[in-house]
Structure 1
Amino acid sequence: MTTEPLHRPARAVPRPNEGVWPGLAEVRHVPVRARIAESLFRRAVRDLPVTVVLPDGSRLGTGGPRMDIVRPDAFYARLATSSKIGFGESYMVGDWTSPAPTDLLTPFAAKLSQLIPPALQRLARRWVEARQPDDEANTVEGARENIHRHYDLSNDLFSIFLDETMSYSAAWFAPGADDLAAAQRRKIDGILDMAGVGEGMHVLEIGTGWGGLAIRAAQRGARVTTLTISAEQAALAEKRIAEAGLADRVQVLLRDYREARGSYDAVVSVEMIEAVGERYWPTYFATIDRLLKPGGRVGLQSITMPHDRLMVSRSDYTWIHKYVFPGGLIPSVEAIESNLASHSALRIAQRRTLGQDYARTLAHWNTRFQDRWASVAALGFDETFRRMWEFYLAYCEAGFRVGYLDVFQFSLERPS
């Protein structure tokens, strides 16, 4: 919670460069819908533990983390055009700001399904809110383009805010510990243990990242085939694997999981299923089942959301889709169980939750990103990108803080 005095003026935020962010500076003129959006926003925040400060000095909410609405007309117009995209875009362009975005977003995340009356949510989904575009479907070619838009931004960018293991997924902190690199190594060992990875095994990894898991599996004495569809990630992963002296034990393939061939003693996949898309979940699990030798095990790490929220929001097109993860969809535990039962012989034998660990992981990333912004800016990223990334990391951390999002490590086995 901030102790900043309420009379302090908000910092001016430059509008986005239209050449880099086409259309973002434009605000649609929708006066009737904007008035409705304003009414709904006021209703939503009146009982939230936040302090919303308007330009005239008036305040909304019951008190708590501060939100300054700098340009209310633009803010309400963006909400009216698309609440699931407009709220984040408004932060990107400075229509609203906050000295503590994560703390502010946490109460919103806790009441996310209740902020708008259910009947209006259904109406908005039918008539107002956008649906995921067909050109972001995760076909083999579509998935490559979707992954390219995020993971190929810049290896240097990710190296600035990730730890030395270059792990871009939930860490697993030991009790009383706060070292991010150590927590990432613990997470990697945890998922390898779930898959039973050890000496002499041939392991398939679906989703290479920057090679951290493959390196650790090879250090355990395994031979690793790892798949990625990000050219940038593949190049750096191969470099890191070679520097670790493990090039003879790890093969990096620029290949979609659907194109994989062979037979493996174990399969591991860390936070890759979120990029698969609901239409392809059956194919994903059937492929793993096909590639796994009899008696083998799978280590799967997945972000999850509550099943009821998945059912009502699975076709939504959100700010995260537009700006961060096109084509993505977070499954529920029930959806994973159902797809396993229908499309494979695999069942969940063991699980552990890392939800609060992910909140801590995201806090580390956001702090490192903000503290090292000068290095990010030197790569050519602008102020709009900074605010976009800050909102993304804060938005996700808030979701994990309140349990709207979770993340599990699963051990999958075939019943005997």
Structure 2
Amino acid sequence: MLNIDKIREDFPILKRTVHGKPLVYFDNAATSQTPQIVIDTIVDYYSNYNSNIHRGVHTLSQEATDKYEEARIKVQKHINAKETYEIILTAGTTHSINIVAAGFESLLHKGDELIVSALEHHSNIVPWQMLCEKTGAILKVIPMNDEGSLDMETYHQLLNENTKLVFCNHVSNALGTVNPIEEIIEAAHKVGAAVLIDGAQATPHIKPDVQQLNADFYVASAHKLCGPTGVGFLYGKKEWLEKLPPYQGGGEMIATVSFKKTTYAGLPHKFEAGTPNICGGIAFGAALDYMNSVGFDHIAAYEDELLKYGTEELLKIEGLKIYGTSAKKTAVISFNIDGVHPYDMGAILDKLGIAVRTGHHCAQPIMDFYKIPGTVRASFSFYNTKEEIDVLVAGVKRAKMMLL
């Protein structure tokens, strides 16, 4: 059982007001809030050992290097990667996906096929479209159904000997659907294709085991995991990371440099050109420590309670429709009220101190499927409460009365 009152004390921002109302923060799928221990880690870095890493012999540099590499080990252990060097610290999920997409440019040929799911964030669509334009590869799509789940029968039909790469999110950011990635990975491997899993929305709720999943690549961002923005990770199996060329050239990613020839560093530094977000990486490690201390099993069970309660209470409102009704989903409720534009609903809720996300959530193909301009998305975290959901429900009712 979680002590929610104690947990909420860990998050200073939850004490603030918005427009004179207590903040109700239901935009966790965009960015989670940050506990004091992570904030303290950031302050400690800049106050006590701010320095560049890896290249310095002085004490501050050594301290910063040790802390940064400790964070890499924390990510490795958290997702159960086989080797520490299989963890590339990046600027976030989008950066991680682009590293892989850029690397595959040298591995693809005209007529090769890539498969993407219909439930993807733009970050897991656009880089692959750009790659297809450069290489002549063909992009195919796993369709979705009305409940917001993937059509797995069609997926199996799409796979063939020309399939080189499959990419799919673990959890849909727009609908909360948990995709059957184990089946997706196993089937792709049977035809020799690699698989990249976008774990940005899954990792706040689910602790992935990349060895058990047998994923070739798995990516996520710290700012969904109570960490800072501008940092994340790319996990890749050693054999794939060694096949891919460096994404950027510069310092740190080299072994030797001369004007005749440059040789590249080994993993993970081959993909980490330049000075990284040192403080962000260290704070990411602190965030993982914090969330593991809360416990992902406890988090999942409690958030499922919030999801069920929120779904039941919101559906009592006449004219409200929820998009994404898959049996397996995380604590995300995307909804609309008949005759009300989601932006108008979100603007009124903001005046009541309630933070939700409105629009297409960088998943425009999903909105096109449902033939809607967007949704109101309420996304819950383990520091939210049923009482806050009651505030949301009352706010939606009030907004509906004002707008209709």
Larger RCO of the pair (alpha carbons < 8 Å, separation 6+): 2
TM bucket by the smaller chain?
Answer: under 0.3
Which structure shows the higher helix fraction?
A: 1
